[in-house]
Amino acid sequence: MDKTLLIISQVYPPDPAAVGQHIADVAAVMARRGWRVVVYTSARGYDDPTVRYPRREIRDGVDVRRLPLSSFGKSGIAIRLLAQSLFLVQALFHGIWTRRLTTVLVSTSPPFAGFAGCVIRWLRGVPFTWWVMDLNPDQMIMLGKIGPRSLPARVFDWINRRTLLAARDVIVLDRFIGERVLRKAPVAGKIRIIPPWAPDELVDPVAHEANPFRDRHGLQGRFVVMYSGNHALTAPLDTLVEAARRLRDDDRLRFVFIGGGQRKPAIDAWIDRERPPHVLSLPYQPFAEIRHSLSAADVHVVSLADEAVGIVHPCKIYGALAFGRPVIVLSPRESYAADILDRQDVGWLIEHGDVDRLVDLLHRLAGGQAGDLTAMGRTARALAAGPYSRPTFVGAVCDVLEGRSAPPDATGASSPC
């Protein structure tokens, strides 16, 4: 092998963080395409730093090298920044000396990893690709953690501009992130829109009547509305919670909240306080149980805050599509998930705060009067298996890394460029 791809990412499997999972999919395919792939990542778990991983191993043909002092948990911004900085210094040192280096891939884990790509490009003269999974300082500003004119915000944006101008290609997850990136630097010709994907190994739907999850939680014979995953600040659920409160006496419906995150304690507190008989709250499910839990839903809920459009991507929609379930999207009308609903009959858009419309929709869904859910499920599965499939999007990322010409938007939709 005379071609070497260097990947710098603070997270990588077996760590469960989604960014690492997607990078690993790409790394494995690049290895199968004949590349020598070297990954520098953290030796400890991102969420739980007590978890230790092998310092070096070959995974799916990829040479994974894990660095110490790269994860101290998520107890505070200062601790996270320290770990990210130490990781990046180590990865940069090792990356500069990587043999037969051909190209570099950096993501936004850590958020300023793109700067490592810049330095390696300057010192080794090789191109790099910046894979923008989310956008900072925009996200921290949106969440009120830093001010828009604060020193950290200005430093982050300076790094972003340098990274964008130096990168050969910039992969973004949707057109709205692409538009925001273009406001940071004039790099329209570099942007490639390639959404993420659902992991194939989880996608094996289970029929309701044969689903032990529905049996175990008393869901058989009920219409199940599910939100599963990170209850993030960028995914408000107030509209869904208020609709569930109003529908307390409708025994046809069950609302299931699975996962964790910063918004989950408020939901659990509401359940403890009001004891709604039709609402179930559960923690993240074991990996082996995910296919049962996601299959248990009749409809999945995807949420994206109005102010989060162009900053984060509504990734949950892919799991719902892959399991053949329609979606209720809580978001503004201008969003990536809304774009999907405009093009395909796979669900309904409800704007945040429109509780009346959501209650009416759920009444009709429970009564079988909101369309052919089976047909919508088939359309969703076809999307997930075809134009929105893992092979399609992984292949598109790999083509970019190999320097092949690629369409500005891998989804076939209009590009902001």
Asked whether residue 395 carries a pLDDT value surpassing 60, the answer given is yes
Lowest mean pLDDT among 63-77, 182-196, 199-213, 285-299: 63-77
Tell which residue, 216, 300, 298, 196, has the closest CA to residue 258. Answer: 300
Does the CA dihedral 370-372-377-383 come out positive or negative? negative
Distance CA 92, CA 98 (A): 10
Residue 29 in contact with residue 395, Cβ under 8 Å?
yes
Percent of the chain with pLDDT over 70: 93
Neighbouring CB atoms inside 10 A of 384's CB total: 24
Cα–Cα separations (whole angstroms), residue 372 to 330, 345, 417:
21, 10, 37
Which contacts (CB < 8 Å, 24+ apart) does range 361-365 have?
Answer: 361/328, 362/225, 362/243, 362/247, 362/250, 362/253, 363/247, 363/250, 365/223, 365/225, 365/298, 365/299
- pLDDT at position 416 is 37
Does the CA dihedral 4-390-282-346 come out positive or negative? positive
- pLDDT at position 310 is 92
- pLDDT at position 284 is 85
Residue 271 in contact with residue 197, Cβ under 8 Å?
no
Asked whether residue 362 carries a pLDDT value surpassing 80, the answer given is yes
Distance CA 251, CA 85 (A): 52
- Between β-strands 36-42 and 4-8, what pairing exists: parallel, antiparallel or unpaired? parallel
Residue 346 in contact with residue 381, Cβ under 8 Å?
no
- Strand-by-strand arrangement of the 4-8 sheet: 56-59, 62-67, 36-42, 4-8, 101-106, 128-132, 169-172, 191-193
Tell which residue, 226, 259, 268, has the closest CA to residue 362. Answer: 226
Domains of the chain: 4-197+389-401 (3.40.50.2000), 201-385 (3.40.50.2000)
Asked whether residue 296 carries a pLDDT value surpassing 50, the answer given is yes
- pLDDT at position 406 is 56
Distance CA 258, CA 22 (A): 22
Three-class DSSP category at 196: coil
pLDDT, tens digit (0-9, with 9 covering 90-100), for 141-166? 998 888 999 998 999 899 999 999 99
pLDDT, tens digit (0-9, with 9 covering 90-100), for 234-268? 999 999 999 999 999 999 999 999 988 888 999 99
- pLDDT at position 414 is 41
What pTM was estimated for this model as a whole? 0.86
